[in-house]
Amino acid sequence: MRLVDIMNQLPSLHGFTHMTKVNKGYSPDDKYLITVGETRYFVRLSDLVHHEKRQKEFTLLQDLAKQGVHTHKAIDYTVLREANLSAMVVSFLEGSPADETIHQLSDSEQYQLGLAAGKQLSAIHRVNPPQNMNWEASQRKKFFTYFKAYQQDSYHLPQETKLVSFIDAHLPLLKHRPITLLHDDFHLGHIICKDQTFNGIIDFNGFDVGDPYHDFYNLALFSRRHSIPFCIGQINGYFPSAPDETFWQLYALYAAMTVFSTIVWTRQYDPPSFDDALERIQLILQDHDHFSWTKPIWYTDDYPLPNNANIF
């Protein structure tokens, strides 16, 4: 089936005048920006093998809207059996990914963007999770699978023994963690910024359930390199008061665990970016002095809030 015929089968796209393929990201789905009149829509075409997951995502977007989360508005979800595809049509969020624009913002604006992101992350975690799970068992299995693959690889980190000891000592913290909805890839690249302010969160296609504190690991892995004021803002926006030591212990545990998964994943799926991954890993290790402490050196809970701060 021709692409134009697929789009014409979607009720909300009748009379579309322009179609642009979106190539950013690692998703196997085909993504398009479609213009109908003066309105733009984001369309995701997925193999029907992913139908159940995509249908849950569409329902999730509706639930997120009820919770006040700023994200795509769910428009249509259609199964196209002749093409062996599902098509999800959502509103398009105007603006640019924050990782592309944050260096154009002042420190104050970066901090405010982080505050907004933290408040929105808190709202995401208030949405009822679609299922329950054994978080400790899941994380232990995931970590040791990655660590076994890491041990079989030719690249090994200096001082890996200290890192492994830290993880082993803190794994018991995974017991009895609350289970919430997770964005599971929450970082500056999935935050949309328009006119120097927060305009929404995208890419819920990888959503999961688990410990809400796990959604902070990308602060260490991605966002910290771009903007410390943003990272401080995200934490301060999420918590009504300074986070306690339990948060920092889990934050550090998840950051430490992601060191090994990042090495394995990058070596296997994106070797050209391995040097970049190592730079990000070195920042994590430096921020925690190879995990001699849990709170990263860049965080301060008395970061100044501008007098005229306007989050939304």
Q: How deeply is 158 buried, as exposed, middle or buried, from its count of CB atoms within 10 A (0-12, 13-18, 19+)?
A: exposed
Task: Please check whether residue 121 is in contact with residue 185, taking contact to mean a CB–CB distance below 8 angstroms.
Answer: no
Which pLDDT does position 145 carry in this prediction?
98
Query: 71 vs 50, 92, 123, 182, CA distance in Å?
Result: 21, 9, 12, 14
| pLDDT tens per residue, range 210-244 | 999 999 999 999 999 999 999 999 999 999 999 99
Among 241, 265, 173, which residue's Cα sits nearest to residue 213? Answer: 173
Structure tokens at 91: 């509103």
pLDDT digits (tens, 9 = 90+) for 114-152: 999 999 999 999 998 988 899 999 999 999 999 999 999
Q: What's the CATH code, domain 96-287? A: 3.90.1200.10
Instruction: Give percent of the chain with pLDDT exceeding 70.
Output: 97
Residue 305's pLDDT band (cuts 50, 70, 90): low
pLDDT (0 to 100) of residue 225:
97
The four Cα atoms 281, 136, 296, 232 give a dihedral, to 10 degrees, of 100
Beta strands in 161-304 (DSSP E): 180-182, 191-194, 197-201, 208-210
Instruction: Let me know: does 218 contact 253? Beta carbons within 8 Å.
Output: no
- Compute the half-sphere exposure of residue 22: CA atoms within 13 Å on the CB side of its CA: 18
CA–CA separation, 142 vs 137, rounded Å?
9
| Residue ranges per structural domain of the chain | 3-91, 96-287
Distance CA 14, CA 149 (A): 49
For residue 258, what is the enclosing H or E element?
helix 245-269
Banded model confidence at residue 308, pLDDT cuts 50, 70, 90 = very low
d(CA 113, CA 225): 15
Q: What band does 311 get if pLDDT is binned at 50, 70 and 90?
A: very low
pLDDT at 132: 87
pLDDT reported for residue 135: 98
Q: What mean pLDDT is predicted for residues 42-48?
A: 97
Report the distance separating Cα 121 and Cα 104, nearest Å: 23
Which of 66-80, 99-113, 149-163, 296-310 shows the lowest mean pLDDT across its residues? 296-310
193 pLDDT band (50/70/90 cuts)?
very high
The CATH class given to the 3-91 domain equals alpha beta
Dihedral pair phi/psi, residue 273, rounded to 5°? -100, 15
Check pLDDT > 80 for residue 306: no
Crossing angle of helices 228-238 and 107-124, in 10° steps, is 40
pLDDT in tens, 53-91: 999 999 999 999 999 999 999 999 999 999 999 999 999
Of 15, 216, 206, 221, the C-alpha closest to 99 is: 221
Is 96-287 in the same CATH topology as 3-91? Answer: no
Q: What are the DSSP calls for 57-75, one per residue?
A: HHHHHHHHHHTT--SPPEE
**Predicted local distance difference test score (pLDDT) of residue 304:** 66
Kindly list the distances between the CA atom of residue 232 and the CA atoms of 131, 187, 217, 260, 312, in Å, as whole numbers in the listed order: 31, 13, 13, 25, 18
Arithmetic mean of pLDDT over the chain: 95
